[in-house]
Amino acid sequence: MLQLQRDVSLREFNTFGLPATARYVVTIDSEAALLDALALPELAGLPRLVLGGGSNLVLTRDFDGVVLRMAIRHRERLPDNPADPCARYVRGGAGEVWHDFVDWTLSQDCPGLENLALIPGTLGAAPIQNIGAYGLELAERFHEVRALDTTTGAFVTCSRDDCAFGYRDSLFKREPGRYIIVAVTLRLPQPWHAVTGYADVSRTLADAGIAEPDARQIFDAVVDIRRRKLPDPAQLGNAGSFFKNPVVDAATFEALRARFPQAVGYAQPDGAWKVAAGWLIDQCGWRGKTVGNAGVHERQALVLVNRGGATGADIVALARAVQASVRERFGISLDPEPLML
């Protein structure tokens, strides 16, 4: 039975733990529930916010609309496809917790997502952001999504090409609100190959004496790295990496490294360079600094945190101050990852 709640606090529904109230909240646990919710006369014409784990969101005000909390939960390993023998396919509902889903794929002998372990959020949100970490992006394992096109009221299937993935970008970010993802299908290449080129991963495995890791060992290594470097949102409010790593052309990076020989960057296939945003912020002296109730985490300068009692305005003010420092010192602009609402 569809339940429409009114005047609901969103503090527990965002990992920053920021205060805000929604006019309406409705939990969506099936495609039918989604259609029923959108047909409710009370919600006609109201702004909509589709919410998964709330791990990529900064709430700066109350939301005078309806929050659709995605809770569609199912997991399945699809039958092998004779037309594509070099892959295994898995599908899950949009409300599946991402990390739990990755763990489950390994139990199903479907490796390939282990580098993305412990990323907060839900399966349905993963394609929107094109999540990535430790040498892998979701787009590399993506097959298709099933989504409701709110402009037509029909469910559609979007392929990898349809989604137009980019660095922390997708069709769904460029057309916000149009598509509501209800299920995601991933393609996991076979035979499996370990992705261990990222320095932290290779170092952690080497320290453990593992020369030829299996997928579970990479999963465990990534979990260990993230727990050492990043704060647990249940203990200290945050949204993970707050800024994207800026991508600059080769000439800009060469000029940067001429001024700062220790500059951290990663060469891209097209000749551009991805500069480590955390390094830029750290060099500006922000690591561990607190302004009011918001701060920069002491172990990872890329993470902004709620020290307790922070508002969305506090987080935004801190983010803008960090951006201004980096721009002034390095001439590089930082773009936030989370949605500011």
Q: What pTM, to 2 d.p., does this model score?
A: 0.90
The residues, ordered by sequence, that sit 6+ positions from 17 with a Cβ below 8 Å of its Cβ are 11, 233, 237, 306
What type of residue is 320? R
**Which of 77, 92, 75, 86 is CA-nearest to residue 127?**
92
Q: What pLDDT is attached to residue 198?
A: 86
Q: What is the pLDDT of residue 3?
A: 87
The answer on pLDDT for 234 being more than 90 is no
For the annotated catalytic residues, the residue numbers are 168, 241, 337
Is the backbone peptide bond immediately before 191 cis, with ω within 30 degrees of 0?
Answer: yes
Please give the domain boundaries of the chain with CATH numbers for all domains.
4-70 (3.30.43.10), 75-189 (3.30.465.10), 237-340 (3.90.78.10)
* C-alpha span between 123 and 93 (Å, rounded): 7
Q: What are the tens digits of pLDDT across the range 26-72?
A: 999 999 999 999 999 999 999 999 999 898 899 999 999 999 999 99
pLDDT band at 7 (very low <50, low <70, confident <90, very high): very high
Q: Torsion angle of alpha carbons 330, 333, 336, 340, nearest 10°?
A: 130
CA distance 130 to 65: 26
CA-to-CA dists, residue 17 to 65, 234, 237, angstroms: 20, 9, 6
- Between the alpha carbon of residue 273 and those of residues 200, 250, 255, 256, 277, the distances in Å are 19, 6, 12, 11, 12
Query: Look-up: residue for tokens 């349809």?
Result: 162
Work out the mean pLDDT of the chain and round it to a whole number: 94
Residue labelled with tokens 């590089």: 332
Torsions phi, psi for 46 (to 5 deg): -85, 150
Label residue 199 by pLDDT band (50, 70, 90).
Answer: confident
Tokens found for residue 255: 């000029």
pLDDT tens digits along 119-177 = 999 999 999 999 999 989 999 999 999 999 999 999 999 999 999 999 889 999 999 99
Q: Is the pLDDT of residue 1 over 80?
A: no
What pLDDT score does 268 carry?
Answer: 87
Beta strands, E only, the chain: 4-9, 21-28, 48-51, 57-58, 63-70, 75-77, 87-93, 132-133, 136-137, 142-149, 154-159, 179-189, 237-241, 247-248, 265-267, 273-275, 290-291, 294-296, 303-306, 339-340
pLDDT tens string 306-328:
999 999 999 999 999 999 999 99
